[in-house]
């Protein structure tokens, strides 16, 4: 809400400057977006009187003027040809910065020194309505006979400072000059004057002009109509135009300007109808019929439903209540009789209509946030006062006031101890009364309770917490001393999930991984890029009704494509070797369309790129992750999603064959889709699964008392036999005497038959109660070999 | 014989000290102490001596033998130690060559700042909770005193999934979930992703991160809120940090406040980061609205509490002077590696 300080001063005696005022306003809760001294934009621009004009010696189109700017006479070269000796013109002096963005510097034009610039209206961002002649081609000629050196701002009458306030959704009453004046009064401890709402009626009877029928009082609790005859449409006076312009509203004509002026001043939007456009002399306020249509003032046709409220005449809609009038219902140049509307429409409904139609106006914005029915009447009277003041027409006797709301002021009874209990400071009841009265809440003590009469425009005040806030903000948040919390001590803690994720992050960063964070949005196109099949479960995703774009229309069901994008972007930027990870959620709906919240699963995606990287560096990190988290039974099996390289992918398992994820090199086709050539290794792990396998019960085992026996065994098997499975068989056959077994060599080559490989394992045997004999060890070795022969047709090498 | 012994000792000493290498020393050992060595030969000749002479010469003989042995072993040790030195000299390395460490990766700056904030609150006895990102309208709005078509909904442009399900616009629904599931006293923070329909630019992102805080108990006051926030901000920005509480508006708190803290960049002197103000807005907070307590089944006559929310992205950008929020989500390694 833009408030010119001059307008606020009509109602409050403001003795401080704009900066001090805003400080005080901020400290009672009225946020400030900006302060603008309107004159400041013309700093350095003064009126100059042209003393002489001579032709430039070296340029036909330039003239050299000697110009009196009050303090001195300047030489300025100009290209304009509408200037003449004796003319008053705006002169931008050296060092000033013009509203059009130009900086004025000392210069030479074709060798002749020039100490400033004569300005056109355009260079000063002025329109014809700001100053007559501002849009004329050439230099703006100042008609007034003012002394050279007079600041241009003074000539233009621009001497105001505007303050733009940020208004919270709880204070729609402050979307008005009067509301802000009340706050300024409270902040400064000043009385606030009331607007002049006096007027004289001229006879006749409004009922001869118009009838009003409100069919849906639940959406329109008050509707006031007034008639004005003998209207002469003309521009409103300069003072009113200046006010409107300063507040950011374009002046139009006297009647429209009055409605806008009143809206800005009181917060109550108004509408003016030309009586000729109200067929049958009847205004009907009703819900639209489904499919009803109307062309609005902006020229666009809209279709309505029964949740939209319309203003109609005897036959047809003429406006959308609280949002915008119909194309023909407005004020015309020859309008002679005007019907003024001031009404209260319900905020929820107007908000809904405004959103549904995609039409937002100053009026709909105010109605959407809530107006009050008492101000409705005051605003109408204020408008009539202005009609009279401007001589814009004659006010017909009588008003039509269709009222369906109880206007009895709300009274709250609040225990002052409860206020102090919330604030945490002993403020006396007397002080509270003073502070509350200062914000316009008439308060007295009755039987130990604060008895507060809530003004109609403070719909936000509903209970003791609201009274506490009024007391606190007026008392000053600064004056409430901070206290340390006391009472029951609670131990701070992390969930075990958070603690585990912390460990994962810390391990991965030590393993050279950088953490990434990417958006949760995805699209079907992204899943195409990942080569997912039509019926891949990942395709079933949470759909956003109002996405920012097609590419952001779904919530992701996998982190993989985002990671590939991140990798590709890094490669494009010539980052060639890196490891990355992201821990984030995927969203899996139980059914589409959704009836309930989707499942949210935290996932870990890791990627490694660079000449040092291969499947096994990545496998090493994954395995270490298991060790660090105390997840037993790390195992991989060849296989996995189709976006991995056919022969270089694995499923990852924890103990009891719990599948926790997949890893591998990315498939060349998918690499191409993402525009990459380097090999990319990726692991994708479901954290919920992984963390569910943690077994952190560490129990001490006595150190061995008897020596171990080490043996090696090399066997020849088909190349396709996975070494890990051979190891599993060794461990199974080894029984409790086999303490440890490990693959240490793989050989394929000339010394072996084609299609065969040799696998060499190192084994440690030990018993806990005696030294094993060679015979015992040989016996176990035999058992192992027998098992390998059975399982893999293995031959001892 | 005594003269003989003394002359053997003398010549042994001369020869051993003059030996050029270990081989020579070993040869001298044979020459003097070996089976046919000169000292050994003399000891064999002991039998020819008279019983009176025998013990005297015997003593002298073993003394000479001992001395020769010591000379030899000292000389050997000297050579061995020389050899060791020699070998180590050859093994000299350039200690300034590259180490074999695996380079460090690093946490995302958002995570780093989150950890800082989290640690402060955990130390203050707060529990860390979480909640879903896709949330019921009821929890995100209605129970927080923002009914359908309430003007406060305009404060948060919302992504809808169905009429009743939204992408949470703030972490405040976790307040509701916590109050519904736990009995006071409650002290929790909840970090998380939040969503609003803002197009991406230097200062806006449709996805951003908040940290919510909630305290519910008996006799919790606005003064406690100030105490808690002040402690937090002093821990985060330094003990000389000043705060300013301004009245503000949130539908779910009453009274509400917006909090400015001394600009961490300029320590209050005024700089581009704080637009010359010396203070910078860091969070919103307030006393939990009694309507919200009631909605969540907590009796506002018995309990009170406060809540606060802060924008992690903003905090991160201020801390590291990151000029454009988009950097946070581009994940360029050159960016990420600056926060190791």
pLDDT tens column, A577-632: 999 999 999 999 998 888 899 999 999 999 999 999 999 999 999 999 999 999 99
Q: Are strands A45-56 and A211-214 parallel, antiparallel or unpaired?
A: unpaired
Reported confidence tier of residue A788, pLDDT bands at 50, 70, 90? very high
Mean pLDDT of the residues in chain A: 94
Helix, strand, coil share of chain B (percent; to 5): 45, 20, 35
Give φ, ψ of A267 to 5 degrees: 85, -5
Are B161 and A580 in contact (CB < 8 Å)?
no
Cα separation, A132 vs A33, whole angstroms: 32
Say if the Cβ atoms of B105 and A544 lie within 8 Å. Answer: no
- The answer to which of A471-485, A537-551, A669-683, B47-61 has the lowest mean pLDDT is B47-61
User: At B302, is the pLDDT very low, low, confident or very high (cuts 50, 70, 90)?
Assistant: very high
Cβ-based contacts of B258 with chain A (< 8 Å): 31
Instruction: Provide the CA A266 distance to its chain's centre, in angstroms.
Output: 29
Find the helix packing angle between B2-18 and B53-90, rounded to 10°.
0
Question: Which residues face A554 on adjacent strands?
Answer: A522, A543
Residue with tokens 């300024």: A184
Residue A403 forms beta bridges with which residues? A222
DSSP string, B160-193: BSSSSEEE-SSSTHHHHHHHHH-PSPEEEEEEEE
Overall average pLDDT of the B239-261 stretch: 94
Per-residue pLDDT reduced to its tens digit, A378-416: 999 999 999 999 999 999 999 999 999 999 999 999 999
A473/B154 touch (CB, cutoff 8 Å), yes or no: no
- How far is C-alpha A265 from the chain's CA centre? 29
Instruction: Flag whether pLDDT at A442 surpasses 90.
Output: yes
Using CA atoms, how far residue B19 sits from A182, A578, B77, in Å, is 112, 62, 13
Three-class SS string for B103-133? CCCECCHHHHHHHHHHHHHHHCCCEECCCCC
- Region class of A53: left (phi > 0), else alpha (psi between -120 and 50), else beta: beta
Residues, chain B: 340
Indicate which of A514, A554, A589 best probes the interface with B, i.e. most B CBs within 10 Å of its own CB.
A514
Best mutation site among B331, B332, B334, B339 for testing chain A: the one with the most A CBs within 10 Å? B331
Q: What is the largest CA-CA distance in chain B?
A: 132
Q: Does A382 touch chain B (CB under 8 A)?
A: no
Backbone φ and ψ for B193, nearest 5 degrees, come out as: -80, 140
Q: How many CB pairs under 8 A join A and B?
A: 253
Nearest residue in B to A543, CA atom:
B161
Question: Which residue among A29, A465, A480 sits closest to B289, beta carbon to beta carbon?
Answer: A465
The pLDDT value recorded for residue A452 is 97
d(CA B132, CA B319): 28
Identify the pLDDT of residue B155: 72
pLDDT of residue B148: 86
Residue pair B71/B12 in contact by the 8 Å Cβ criterion: yes
Q: Which residues contact A328 (CB under 8 A, 6 or more apart)?
A: A277, A318
- Name the pLDDT band for B115 (thresholds 50, 70, 90): very high
Q: Which residues partner with B240 through β-bridges?
A: none
* pTM listed for this prediction: 0.85
Angle between helix axes A347-357 and A362-369 (nearest 10 degrees) is 140
Cβ-defined contact of B134 to A600 (cutoff 8 Å) = yes
Pair A601, A615: CB distance under 8 Å: no
Over residues A328-371, the pLDDT tens digits come to: 878 999 999 999 999 999 999 999 999 999 999 999 999 999 99
pLDDT range class, residue B5, cuts 50, 70, 90: confident
* pLDDT the model gives residue A597: 96
Average pLDDT over residues A526-553: 94
Region for residue A120 given its phi and psi (left: phi exceeds 0; alpha: psi -120 to 50; beta: otherwise): beta
Q: Where are the beta strands (DSSP E) in A567-702?
A: 578-588, 599-609, 635-638, 644-654, 658-666, 680-686
Instruction: Encode burial over A214-243: b for 16+ CB neighbours within 10 A, e otherwise.
Output: bebeebbbbbbbbbbbebebeebeeebbbb
Measure in Å the smallest separation between the Cα of B313 and chain A Cα atoms. 12
Cα–Cα distance between B92 and B84 in angstroms, integer?
13
> Does an H or E element contain A526, and which?
helix A524-529
Nearest to B151 among A351, A478, A493 (CB): A351
Nearest to A376 by CA among A412, A410, A405: A405
Total Cβ atoms within 10 A of residue B239: 6
Whether residue B333 and residue A31 make contact (CB cut-off 8 A), yes or no, is no
CB A371 within 8 A of CB A175: no
How would residue A99 be classed by pLDDT, with cut points 50, 70 and 90? confident
The structure tokens listed for A544 are: 């956003």
Cβ–Cβ of A473/B247 closer than 8 Å? Answer: yes
CA-to-CA distance for B44 and B61, rounded, in angstroms?
A: 11
- Would you say A134 and A140 are in contact if contact means Cβ atoms under 8 Å apart? yes
What would the DSSP string read from start to end of A86-107? T-EEEEE-TT-B-TTSPBP--E
pLDDT digits (tens, 9 = 90+) for A644-702: 999 999 999 999 999 999 999 999 999 999 999 999 999 999 999 999 999 988 899 88
Nearest CA in chain B to A489: B125
Test A548 with B111 for CB contact under 8 angstroms: no
Binary contact (A514, B105; C-beta < 8 A): yes
Looking at residue B321, what is its pLDDT? 85
Comparison of pLDDT for A797 and A521, the residue scoring more: A521
Q: Tokens for A27?
A: 């400290």
Q: Which of A482, A516, A519 sits opposite B227 (nearest CB)?
A: A482
- Residue A41 vs residue A771, higher pLDDT: A771
Query: How do beta strands A578-588 and A644-654 pair?
Result: unpaired
A424 close contact with B: CB closer than 8 A: yes
By residue count, chain A amounts to 797
The pLDDT score that the predictor gives to residue A107 is 87
Q: How far apart are alpha carbons B232 and B187 in whole angstroms? A: 14
B186-195 vs B127-128, strand pairing mode:
parallel
Pick from A274, A275, A260: nearest CA to A383: A260
Q: Which residues of A touch B287 (CB under 8 A)?
A: 422, 465, 468
Distance (Å, whole) CA A222 – CA A216: 11
Nearest to A519 by CA among A556, A573, A544, A553: A556
Tokens of A635: 């195992």
Task: Specify the pLDDT at position A425.
Answer: 93
Pairing of strands A317-320, A161-166: unpaired
Identify the residue with better confidence: B100 or A465: A465
Structure tokens given for A562: 């985002």
Asked whether the bond before A593 is cis by omega within 30 degrees of 0, the reply is yes
User: Is any Cβ of chain B less than 8 angstroms from the Cβ of A26?
Assistant: yes
Cα A64 vs. chain centroid, distance in angstroms? Answer: 54
Q: What is the C-alpha to C-alpha distance for residues B333 and A579, in angstroms, rounded to an integer? A: 9
**Do A90 and A102 contact (CB within 8 A), yes or no?**
no
């Amino acid at each position: 809400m833009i408030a010119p300080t001059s307008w606020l001063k009509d109602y409050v005696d403001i003795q401080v400057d704009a900066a001090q005022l805003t400080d005080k306003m901020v400290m009672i809760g009225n946020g400030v977006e900006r302060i603008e001294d309107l004159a400041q934009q013309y700093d350095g621009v003064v009126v100059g009187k042209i003393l002489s004009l001579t032709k430039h010696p070296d340029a036909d189109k330039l003239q050299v003027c000697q110009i009196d700017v009050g303090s001195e006479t300047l030489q300025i070269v100009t290209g304009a040809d509408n200037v003449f000796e004796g003319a008053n013109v705006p002169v931008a002096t050296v060092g000033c910065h013009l509203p059009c963005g130009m900086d004025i510097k000392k210069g030479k034009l074709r060798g002749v020194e020039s100490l400033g610039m004569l300005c056109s209206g355009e260079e000063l961002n002025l329109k014809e309505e700001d100053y007559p002649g501002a849009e004329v081609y050439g230099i703006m000629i100042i008609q007034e006979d003012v002394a050279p050196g007079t600041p241009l701002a003074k000539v233009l009458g621009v001497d105001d400072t505007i303050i733009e306030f940020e208004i919270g959704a709880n204070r729609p009453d402050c979307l008005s000059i009067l509301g802000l004046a009340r706050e300024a009064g409270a902040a400064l401890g000043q009385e606030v004057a009331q607007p002049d709402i006096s007027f004289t009626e001229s006879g006749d009877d409004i009922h001869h002009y118009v009838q009003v029928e409100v069919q849906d009082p639940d959406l329109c609790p008050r509707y006031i109509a007034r008639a004005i005859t003998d209207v002469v449409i003309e521009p409103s006076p300069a003072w009113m135009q200046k006010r409107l312009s300063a507040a950011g509203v374009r002046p139009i004509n006297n009647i429209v300007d009055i409605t806008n002026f009143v809206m800005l001043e009181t917060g109550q939007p108004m509408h003016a109808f030309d009586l000729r456009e109200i067929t049958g002399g009847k205004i009907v306020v009703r819900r639209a019929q489904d499919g009803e249509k109307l062309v609005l003032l902006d020229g666009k046709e809209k279709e309505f439903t029964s949740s939209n409220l319309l203003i109609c005449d005897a036959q047809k809609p003429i406006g959308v209540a609280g949002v915008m009038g119909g194309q023909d219902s407005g004020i015309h140049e020859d309008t002679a009789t005007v019907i003024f509307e001031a009404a209260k429409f319900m905020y929820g409904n107007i908000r809904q209509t405004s959103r549904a139609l995609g039409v937002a106006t100053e009026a709909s914005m105010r109605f959407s946030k809530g107006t009050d029915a008492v101000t409705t009447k005051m605003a109408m009277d204020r408008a009539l006062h202005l009609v009279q003041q401007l001589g814009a027409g004659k006010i017909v006797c009588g008003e039509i006031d269709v009222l369906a709301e109880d206007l009895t002021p709300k009274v709250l009874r609040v225990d002052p101890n409860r206020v102090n209990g919330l604030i945490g400071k002993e403020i006396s009841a007397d002080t509270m009364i003073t502070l509350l009265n200062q914000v316009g809440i008439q308060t007295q003590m009755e039987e130990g309770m604060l008895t507060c009469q809530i003004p109609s425009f403070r719909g936000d005040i509903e209970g003791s917490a609201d009274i506490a806030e009024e007391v606190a903000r007026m008392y000053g948040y600064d004056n409430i001393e901070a206290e340390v919390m006391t009472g029951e001590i609670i131990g701070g803690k992390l969930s075990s999930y958070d603690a585990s994720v912390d460990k994962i992050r810390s391990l991965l960063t030590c393993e050279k991984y950088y953490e990434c964070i990417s958006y949760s949005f995805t699209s079907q196109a992204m899943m195409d890029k990942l080569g997912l099949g039509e019926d891949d479960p990942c395709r079933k995703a949470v759909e956003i009704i109002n996405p920012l774009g097609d590419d952001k229309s779904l919530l992701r069901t996998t982190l993989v494509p985002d990671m590939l994008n991140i990798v590709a972007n890094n490669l494009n930027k010539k980052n060639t070797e890196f490891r990355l990870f992201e821990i984030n959620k995927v969203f899996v709906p139980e059914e589409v369309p959704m009836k309930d919240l989707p499942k949210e699963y935290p996932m870990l995606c890791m990627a490694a790129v660079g000449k040092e990287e291969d499947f096994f560096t990545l496998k090493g990190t994954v395995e270490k992750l298991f060790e660090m988290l105390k997840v037993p039974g790390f195992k991989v099996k060849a296989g996995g999603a189709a976006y991995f390289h056919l022969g270089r992918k694995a499923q990852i398992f924890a103990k009891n064959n719990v599948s926790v994820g997949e890893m591998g090199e990315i498939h060349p086709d998918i690499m191409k889709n993402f525009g990459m050539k380097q090999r990319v290794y990726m692991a994708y792990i479901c954290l919920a699964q992984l963390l569910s396998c943690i077994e952190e019960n560490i129990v001490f085992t006595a150190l061995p008392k008897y020596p171990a026996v080490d043996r090696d065994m090399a066997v020849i098997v088909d190349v396709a036999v996975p070494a890990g499975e051979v190891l599993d068989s060794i461990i199974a056959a080894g029984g409790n005497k086999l303490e440890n077994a490990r693959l240490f060599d793989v050989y394929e080559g000339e010394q072996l038959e084609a299609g065969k490989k040799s696998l060499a394992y190192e084994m440690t045997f030990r018993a806990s109660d005696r030294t094993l004999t060679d015979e015992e060890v040989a016996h176990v070795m035999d058992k192992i070999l027998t098992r390998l022969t059975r399982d893999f047709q293995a031959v001892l090498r | 014989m005594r003269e003989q012994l003394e002359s053997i000792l003398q010549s042994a000493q001369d020869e051993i000290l003059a030996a050029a290498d270990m081989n020579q020393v070993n040869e001298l050992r044979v020459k003097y102490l070996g089976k046919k060595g000169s000292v050994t030969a003399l000891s064999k000749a002991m039998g020819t001596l008279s019983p009176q002479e025998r013990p005297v010469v015997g003593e002298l003989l073993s003394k000479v033998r001992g001395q020769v042995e010591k000379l030899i072993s000292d000389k050997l040790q000297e050579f061995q130690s020389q050899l060791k030195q020699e070998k180590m000299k050859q093994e000299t390395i350039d200690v300034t060559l590259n180490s074999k460490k695996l380079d460090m990766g690093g946490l995302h700056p958002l995570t780093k700042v989150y950890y800082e904030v989290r640690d402060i609150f955990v130390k203050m006895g707060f529990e860390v909770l979480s909640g879903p990102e896709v949330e019921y309208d009821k929890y995100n709005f209605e129970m927080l005193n923002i009914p359908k078509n309430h003007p406060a909904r305009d404060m948060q442009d919302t992504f809808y999934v169905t009429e009743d399900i939204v992408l949470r616009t703030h972490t405040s629904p976790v307040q509701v979930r916590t109050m519904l599931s736990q009995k006071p006293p409650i002290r929790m923070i909840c970090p998380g992703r939040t969503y609003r329909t803002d197009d991406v630019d230097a200062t806006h992102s449709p996805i951003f991160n908040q940290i919510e805080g909630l305290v519910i108990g008996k006799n919790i006051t606005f003064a406690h809120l100030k105490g808690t926030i002040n402690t937090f901000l002093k821990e985060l920005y330094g003990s000389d940090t000043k705060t300013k509480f301004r009245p503000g508006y949130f539908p779910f708190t009453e009274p509400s406040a917006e909090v400015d803290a001394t600009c961490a960049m300029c320590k209050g002197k005024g700089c581009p980061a704080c637009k010359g103000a010396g203070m910078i807005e860091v969070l919103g907070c307030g006393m939990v609205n009694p309507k919200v307590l009631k909605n969540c089944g907590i009796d506002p006559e018995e309990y009170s509490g406060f809540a606060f929310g802060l924008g992690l992205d903003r905090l991160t950008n201020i801390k590291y002077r990151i000029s454009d929020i988009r950097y946070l989500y581009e994940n360029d390694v050159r960016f990420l590696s600056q926060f190791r």
